[in-house]
Amino acid sequence: MAAIDIKALGARAETMISALAPISSEPGRLIRLFLSPEHRRAADMTAQWMRDAGMQVSEDALGTLRGRVGEGRRLLIGSHLDSVIDAGNYDGPLGVIAGILAVEHFKGRPPVPIDVLAFGDEEGSRFPSTLSTSAAVAGVFEEETLGLSDRNGVTYGDALRKYGKNPADIPKAAYRRGEAAAYVELHIEQGPRLEAANEPLGIVTGIVGQSRWRVIVTGMAGHAGTVPMDLRRDALAGSAEMVLAAERIGRAHEGMVATVGIVDARPGAGNIIPGRVMFTVDLRCMDDATRKAAVAEFEDKARDIAKARKLEVTFEHFHDVSATVCDAGLQDTLAAAIGDLGHRAIRMPSGAGHDGQMMAKLCPAAMMFVRCRDGISHNPAEYASPDDMGTAIAALIRFIGRFRT
């Protein structure tokens, strides 16, 4: 295998990360939503990098880019181009860029056939879906996703047609059984463990299961000055009690997290008692039974709170993905590749969701984590050093050299 220049790889990765970073719907902060003009521009830039690295480039019915080298049963390497709101530059793009630079290292002729995949809806920032494009590649896309609407009332299906795609072609996005030998994703850790271990690379043992749902609390809007406190049916005060219940449940279980990220109080005026509130809950845990029991516990508590306050409460579940165990053989090959570079491979679970969860429904899947500064992510301060990125891509290259389809 040709010598690997870690410094050069890190510098290339940093240049490519910096080229993608400004492709945002807003100046001054990174927002790159699925099927947006920014998604199109980022995909076009990425497709050109894939072609320059010697890949045949295609795009499926959900906008996923596929850079291909070699024929036959293949190794899939991928991650996502979409971002959260006010995102960092590395979450997603690093995994796509790493695949491209690894293929480029082999001058477009790696020892095994490879597809590099650039997914578009990992974050779920536009529609109340997530992992929908990797789901299509894995052959498990759910038709009802097409009916979901974004904040402007645009449906997923309409956005797809506007992007120049035909939803009828979605089934063609799926790999045939046996075509994909394995899926590997390189991603920033988005947590503090690798820094604490003073190591640049980690191996993911498993990815948490996730439940995401909306809670709609209905009370009675009223005059903030004239309705006595004991006569109110305040939807926001009731919601606040429910939010604290979610936090308490999250704290009560080792390794569980519960987050309320969106609160929408209507009518949203300072002198009106809120009559209707929608808030989201994101609950995660490595054990699926514990997670499902926690969801039920929250809903029971929310009903009790609503009853005590003469409110109505309903729940709309829009995401439920089971915990994923990463393939043990792939983990060991990644560990050997990391060892080739003289580093210790730290094994850890992932509290973040990833496209790898969907790809594990298609073929054996594994992930490699890269240290990120202070563990910060989903934040413009997110940062991975060129040296760590170069080391990660070198490990990916060594993995490819060791991998057998």
Q: Which of Mn ion, ligand HGY, none lies near 382, with the C-beta cut-off 5 to 8 A by kind?
A: none
- Give least dist CB 222 to Mn ion, A: 40
Under the binding rule (CB under 5 A), the answer on residue 14 touching Mn ion is no
Rule CB under 6 A: say whether 355 interacts with ligand HGY: no
Minimum gap (Å) between residue 378 Cβ and Mn ion: 6
Q: Does 327 bind ligand HGY (CB under 6 A)?
A: no
355 binding Mn ion? (CB under 5 A): no
- If one asks whether residue 282 binds Mn ion (CB under 5 A), the answer comes out as no
Number of residues that bind ligand HGY (CB under 6 A): 4
* Least distance from Mn ion to the Cβ atom of residue 283, Å: 17
If binding is defined by CB under 6 A, does position 123 make contact with ligand HGY? yes
Tokens of 109: 């002729």
Q: Which of 67, 238, 353, 386 contacts ligand HGY by CB under 6 A?
A: 353
Q: What does the block give as tokens for 319?
A: 């995401």
Residue nearest to Mn ion (CB): 91
Q: Which is nearer to ligand HGY, 99 or 353 (CB)?
A: 353
Which C-beta is closer to ligand HGY: that of 122 or that of 150? Answer: 122
Write down the least CB distance from residue 87 to ligand HGY, Å: 9
Q: Which of 159, 311, 352, 368 binds ligand HGY (CB under 6 A)?
A: 352
By CB under 5 A, what part of segment 72-101 binds Mn ion? 91-92
Which of residues 92 and 386 has its CB atom nearest to Mn ion in the complex?
Answer: 92
3-class secondary-structure state, position 85: coil
Residue placing its CB nearer to Mn ion in the complex, 145 or 190: 190
189 binds ligand HGY (CB under 6 A): no
For the bound state, the minimum distance from the C-beta of residue 125 to ligand HGY, rounded and expressed in Å, comes to 9
283 belongs to the binding site for ligand HGY (CB under 6 A): no
CB of 192 to ligand HGY, least distance (A): 16
Phi-psi group of 28: left, alpha or beta (phi > 0 → left; psi -120 to 50 → alpha; rest → beta)? left
Among 60, 122, 234, 327, interactor with ligand HGY by CB under 6 A? 122
Residues that bind ligand HGY (CB under 6 A): 122-123, 352-353
Residues that bind Mn ion (CB under 5 A): 91-92
